[in-house]
Structure 1
Amino acid sequence: MKMFIAQLATETNTFAAAPTGLGGFEEYGIYRGDATVSAPETIGGLLRFLRTTMEADGHQVVESLCAFAQPSGRTVRAVYEDLRDQILIDLRAAMPVDVVQMFLHGAMVAEGYDDCEGDLLSRVRAIVGPNVPIGVELDLHCHATELMFKSADVLVAFKEYPHVDGNPRALELYRILVDTAEGRVRPTTAVFDCKMVGLWHTTREPMSGFVKHMQSFEGRDGVLSVSLGHGFPWGDVPESGAKAWVVTDNNLARAQALATELGHEFWELREQTGGNALELDAALDAALAAPPGTVVLADVADNPGGGAPGDSTFILQRLVERNIGNAVIGAFWDLGAIQICRDAGVGAVIDLRLGGKCGPTSGNPVDLRVTVRAVGEAHSQTALGNRAPLGPSVWVEAPNGVHLLLASVRSQVFGVDAFTGLGLDLTDKRLVIVKSTQHFHAEFSPLATAVVYVSTPGAITPDFANIPYSVRDLNYWPRMNNPHASSN
């Protein structure tokens, strides 16, 4: 069979001031049919896995666009339309095809398009017609919209957060699509709107058990796939929020019953799985009171992976004010400060104004006398098993043993080597503060005596009850105690 594959992914924080432009995609590389050969694993890994799997099964593969941008504000309209149209042009040229399989984030928003994935999929459907199976793998922080379900035959979301299961979900989707194309199954999907907004870590109970519970239904009684889309809280679009959906083999009643059952079970866990971030001073107090060893603090509100700028100074300012030392914090996105340190060179002692540049959610700049300890011109980090660029980066040390990582590629911290790759030892530090919400957990939790999540007034504050939505329905938990009753 002829398989068409493509990838277009970014996660949009509609509250972020800075738009996602062409440069955001170019920073990571825009690959036009050659990602499986040329792209680094962090960008092209899923398509590479798909191509290898499909060709091993004897299928012909037509590879289209592969593009990714770090989350930020709405994508510039012309940029989205150009990337979208490149996929559509390639698809028309490849026709006829037997299967379309794509990776789309699911929470991409552009100027004039609240549902980029639904828009793209509806156009793909118009090209291939009603009989060609279309399947999409989604980040679990997706907006699972009616148009997406209407346009595709199968949607499969990551089940894990951190997202360590990209390849297994791609394989799950691929097998369903092949069975569909060969007439063995007829995918039928039902959805349950959980009416919930939040973040749910699958690294701890009860969510880790709930993921296993979802998977226990797959492969029996005609159930092909079960997904829980967590939604992206900082996307102010009409169809955001958590949704459970079930794909069966032509059994809508079974799909709806199971989606409803699982949705209600997830709802019942809400008090156990809700936010666990502490206010800044309480978080610092908890960290200092933890057993001896290294305590990892997550600066969840300044996570570039959720569209934050990465230059928030709220935690740094409190470290200085409270005279808390023996600490590491990063990665700050401050291009001017990085250039000053690079020019000064390793060993230089300079006065540096750091952070607080992108807006109110960045806090105020902090003035420090620092020593430049290391400069890396092509720094990178481990990211969920792959490599991710950090670009020209520096390690500086401020008074009282406060160590700071500055990176020129705006990114959350995934791997320990974001720090150790510049020679910064973490094992003797009391506090390690990472600008990340949850993806740090896989690598940092083994070195931590405790992990503390910190809430600050950053760009992705975890105060889910008070996110200033103006578009989406406000009938959701935790803003409403029982939104399901309110909707009856």
Structure 2
Amino acid sequence: MRLFVAHLATETNTFAAAPTGLGDFEEIGIHHGDASVRDPEGVGAFIRYLRGLIDADGGELVESLSTLAQPGGRTVRHVYEAMRDEILADLRAALPVDAVQLLLHGAMAAEGVDDCEGDLAAHIREIVGPGVPIGLELDLHCHFTERMRTAADVIIAFKEYPHTDTDERGAELYRILKDAALGKVRPVTAVFDCKMVGLWHTTREPMQGFVRRMQAIERAPGVLSVSLGHGFPWGDVPEAGAKLWVVTDNDPALAQTLAQQLGREFWALRERIGPEACSIDAALDAAFESGAGGADAHGPAVLADVADNPGGGAAGDSTFILRRLVERRVANSVVGAIWDLGAIHVCKGAGVGAQLDLRIGGKCGPASGQPLDLRVTVRAIVPNHSQSALGTRERLGDCVWVEAAGGLHILLCSIRTQTYGTDAFTGAGISLADKAIVVVKSTQHFHAEFAPIARQVLYVTTPGAMSFDFAAIPYRLRSPDYWPRVPDPHGLSAI
């Protein structure tokens, strides 16, 4: 089997002011057919894993473009089109191929192109024709579109949030594409529009149980795959929102029945699965209370700064929680990673051990809050730092660890990215086990590594760039007919 593979991904926050440009992809890495060799633990991790599967089967992998960018505003159109056209040119040169497998995001939008994934898949279909199976692996925060469905033979989304199952879903998609290419299966898809906008963690019930429910349905005869696309709340595109789809082996009636059934089951959970976020002071009060538990209170309280998550398009430099830690004189705490190129430049010039007055954060607009002036000591300067990130490595760039009064430790990064791994801190020399509070710039991906060391995990709301008032997000392109903005968008007769 000759399989053509490419990886192009970013998650578009259409409300973000700054566009996503070529430099944002270059910052993480752009590889032209060699990512699995040049960056096997980073951008090339997916293709490297897939190459192992194909080699074991005695097949051949043709590797094309592999790149991704941190979430931000709409991608500059000519940047997207140049990357798309590179993939298409590589595909034409690789013909004939038996199948095409793409790792995309599903919520990538460019200037004038609301559905980059559907656009790419449609162009690929024009090249390979109707007889070559095309498969898309998507982030679960995707916008499942009709153009994607008609262009691709099978689409599979991650099931877990944080995304700990990317390899498993890639292997699942590969098996289906291989069987389709051999004529063993004929994938057909049915979709149910849940008409919901929100954010749902699969690390707790009832979402854990719903993931198990989807997996159980996948074991039924004739079912190839079940996916729930949660949607990306901060992507204002016409087909945004949660959708559930079922892929069967040439049984459209079964696919439709199961999609309707599972979609309605998910809808029935709507009041029980939202994020449990609290105010800064409520989180700090709860952290102090849990820390007073005596011998059973092990590890730090981990506070997620959910509204300032670079993984959702936020700047990563808000000071709301940091300022409150200072005002409340919270001792023995750590915050990071804060994106602040200016502060890093000043600290690098001063050197390790220097004491100085440093202005931190609050650089990128009202959603970042006001800069905070602190007297700090430069504890470490870490060139080209990186962190573990759900099975890959994510660059943080040059980082600086500074310490302020009361044992307040702050990690500054030069590449805007969310906090995934504990080694973002420990790799810079900051211990975590002895801290009372750890604040991470992340919404949920931190959970995989930080929850095991935490005595408590708390999700904290601030006036940051990512509003969690889902009913009030100012959509212009997406229909306002969704829950929680509308109590019953389906109508009583449908649910």
Question: 2:132 is matched with which residue?
Answer: 132
Question: 1:63 is matched with which residue?
Answer: 63
Could you state the TM-score of these two structures normalised by the residue count of structure 2? Answer: 0.97
Task: Output the amino acid matched with 1:286.
Answer: A
Q: Deviations over 1:457-486 (max 9, x none)?
A: 111122211111111011111111111118
Q: Deviations over 1:286-328 (max 9, x none)?
A: 2222244410000001111111110011111111222222211
Question: 1:207 is matched with which residue?
Answer: 207
**CA–CA distance in structure 2, aligned partners of residues 152 and 410 of structure 1:** 33
Match of 1:478 among 467, 478, 484: 484
Q: Secondary structure at the match of 2:394?
A: strand
Q: Secondary structure at the match of 1:400?
A: coil
**CA–CA distance in structure 2, aligned partners of residues 417 and 95 of structure 1:** 43
**CA–CA distance in structure 1, aligned partners of residues 97 and 376 of structure 2:** 59
Q: Is 1:236 the equivalent of 2:236?
A: yes
Match of 2:451 among 442, 445, 449: 445
Question: 1:297 is matched with which residue?
Answer: 303
Task: Output the amino acid matched with 2:157.
Answer: A
Q: Secondary structure at the match of 1:443?
A: helix
Q: Is the 8 A contact 1:300 1:461 kept in 2?
A: no
Q: Secondary structure at the match of 1:483?
A: coil
Task: Output the amino acid matched with 2:73.
Answer: G
Q: Secondary structure at the match of 1:485?
A: coil
Task: Output the amino acid matched with 2:190.
Answer: A
* C-alpha displacement of 1:423: 1.2
Q: How many positions carry a matched residue from both structures?
A: 488
**CA–CA distance in structure 2, aligned partners of residues 398 and 446 of structure 1:** 27
Question: 1:468 is matched with which residue?
Answer: 474
**CA–CA distance in structure 1, aligned partners of residues 73 and 377 of structure 2:** 34
Q: Is the 8 A contact 1:13 1:234 kept in 2?
A: yes
Q: Is the 8 A contact 1:277 1:452 kept in 2?
A: yes
Q: Deviations over 1:135-155 (max 9, x none)?
A: 010000100000000100000
**CA–CA distance in structure 2, aligned partners of residues 286 and 487 of structure 1:** 43
Q: Deviations over 1:54-111 (max 9, x none)?
A: 1221212211100111111110111000000000001111112110011010000100
Q: Is the 8 A contact 2:201 2:275 kept in 1?
A: no
* C-alpha displacement of 1:362: 0.6
Match of 1:409 among 408, 415, 419: 415
* C-alpha displacement of 1:210: 0.8
**CA–CA distance in structure 1, aligned partners of residues 122 and 144 of structure 2:** 14
Question: 1:109 is matched with which residue?
Answer: 109
**CA–CA distance in structure 2, aligned partners of residues 325 and 484 of structure 1:** 50
Q: Secondary structure at the match of 1:27?
A: helix
Question: 1:98 is matched with which residue?
Answer: 98
Question: 1:323 is matched with which residue?
Answer: 329
* C-alpha displacement of 1:219: 3.6
Q: Secondary structure at the match of 1:42?
A: coil
Q: Secondary structure at the match of 1:446?
A: helix
**CA–CA distance in structure 2, aligned partners of residues 33 and 486 of structure 1:** 52
Q: Secondary structure at the match of 1:273?
A: coil
Q: Deviations over 1:5-38 (max 9, x none)?
A: 0010000111111111000000111111101111
Q: Is the 8 A contact 1:331 1:434 kept in 2?
A: yes
**CA–CA distance in structure 2, aligned partners of residues 385 and 152 of structure 1:** 27
Q: Is 1:345 the equivalent of 2:361?
A: no
**CA–CA distance in structure 2, aligned partners of residues 338 and 487 of structure 1:** 58
Question: 2:435 is matched with which residue?
Answer: 429
Q: Secondary structure at the match of 1:423?
A: coil
**CA–CA distance in structure 1, aligned partners of residues 346 and 40 of structure 2:** 29
CA pair 72-153 structure 1, distance change in 2 beyond 3 A: same
* C-alpha displacement of 1:382: 1.2
- Counterparts of 1:192-271 in structure 2 under 5 Å? 192-271=192-271
**CA–CA distance in structure 2, aligned partners of residues 470 and 390 of structure 1:** 34
Q: Is the 8 A contact 2:384 2:399 kept in 1?
A: yes
Q: Is the 8 A contact 1:40 1:387 kept in 2?
A: no
Q: Is the 8 A contact 2:161 2:445 kept in 1?
A: yes
**CA–CA distance in structure 2, aligned partners of residues 4 and 378 of structure 1:** 33
Question: 1:31 is matched with which residue?
Answer: 31
Q: Is the 8 A contact 2:100 2:135 kept in 1?
A: yes
Q: Is 1:314 the equivalent of 2:297?
A: no
Q: Is 1:458 the equivalent of 2:464?
A: yes
RMSD: 1.2
**CA–CA distance in structure 1, aligned partners of residues 201 and 174 of structure 2:** 26
Q: Is the 8 A contact 2:336 2:410 kept in 1?
A: yes
Task: Output the amino acid matched with 1:459.
Answer: A
**CA–CA distance in structure 1, aligned partners of residues 160 and 470 of structure 2:** 21
Q: Deviations over 1:260-282 (max 9, x none)?
A: 11111111111110121112222
Q: Is 1:10 the equivalent of 2:16?
A: no
Q: Is the 8 A contact 2:307 2:467 kept in 1?
A: yes
Task: Output the amino acid matched with 2:272.
Answer: Q
- After TM superposition, the structure 1 stretch with the greater mean CA deviation from structure 2, 420-429 or 404-413, is 420-429
**CA–CA distance in structure 2, aligned partners of residues 136 and 91 of structure 1:** 15
Match of 1:375 among 364, 375, 381: 381
* C-alpha displacement of 1:254: 0.5
Q: Secondary structure at the match of 1:364?
A: coil
- Counterparts of 1:36-55 in structure 2 under 5 Å? 36-55=36-55
**CA–CA distance in structure 2, aligned partners of residues 366 and 138 of structure 1:** 39
Name structure 1 gaps, 5 residues minimum.
none
Name structure 2 gaps, 5 residues minimum.
none
Question: 1:183 is matched with which residue?
Answer: 183
* C-alpha displacement of 1:487: 9.9
Task: Output the amino acid matched with 2:306.
Answer: V
Could you state the TM-score of these two structures normalised by the residue count of structure 1? Answer: 0.98
**CA–CA distance in structure 2, aligned partners of residues 486 and 213 of structure 1:** 25
Q: Is the 8 A contact 2:40 2:48 kept in 1?
A: no
Q: Secondary structure at the match of 1:373?
A: strand
* C-alpha displacement of 1:425: 1.1
Q: Is 1:120 the equivalent of 2:126?
A: no
**CA–CA distance in structure 2, aligned partners of residues 345 and 416 of structure 1:** 25
